[in-house]
């Protein structure tokens, strides 16, 4: 069995230049994902605050008592 060609392929697959490129691409994707997640979180927080402020616009007597019938 000739393994000399396999070791050559392994050396080719792991070169410092390709590793640096892979790392920079991974970091760019991670930064973009973090940015998208921050935007989504900001939108959710804004929707909650808008809902809370519209609930405050209700009259004072609404939402204070719960009527239960057994």
Full pLDDT tens readout for the chain, 70 residues: 455 555 555 555 556 666 778 888 999 999 999 999 999 999 999 888 776 666 566 677 777 777 788 6
Tell me how far apart the alpha carbons of residues 70 and 68 are, in angstroms, rounded to a whole number.
Answer: 7
Tell me how far apart the alpha carbons of residues 70 and 64 are, in angstroms, rounded to a whole number.
Answer: 20
> Can you read off the two tokens belonging to residue 11?
């050396």
Give the H/E segment covering residue 42.
helix 16-56
Q: Output the pLDDT for position 52.
A: 62
pTM over 0.75: no
Tell me how far apart the alpha carbons of residues 6 and 1 are, in angstroms, rounded to a whole number.
Answer: 11
């Amino acid at each position: 069995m000739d393994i000399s060609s396999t070791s050559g392929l392994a050396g080719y697959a792991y070169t410092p230049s390709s590793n640096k490129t892979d790392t920079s691409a991974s970091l760019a994707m991670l930064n973009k994902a973090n940015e998208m997640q921050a935007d989504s979180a900001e939108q959710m927080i804004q929707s909650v605050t808008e809902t809370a402020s519209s609930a405050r616009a209700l009259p004072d007597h609404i939402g204070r008592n719960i009527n239960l019938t057994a």
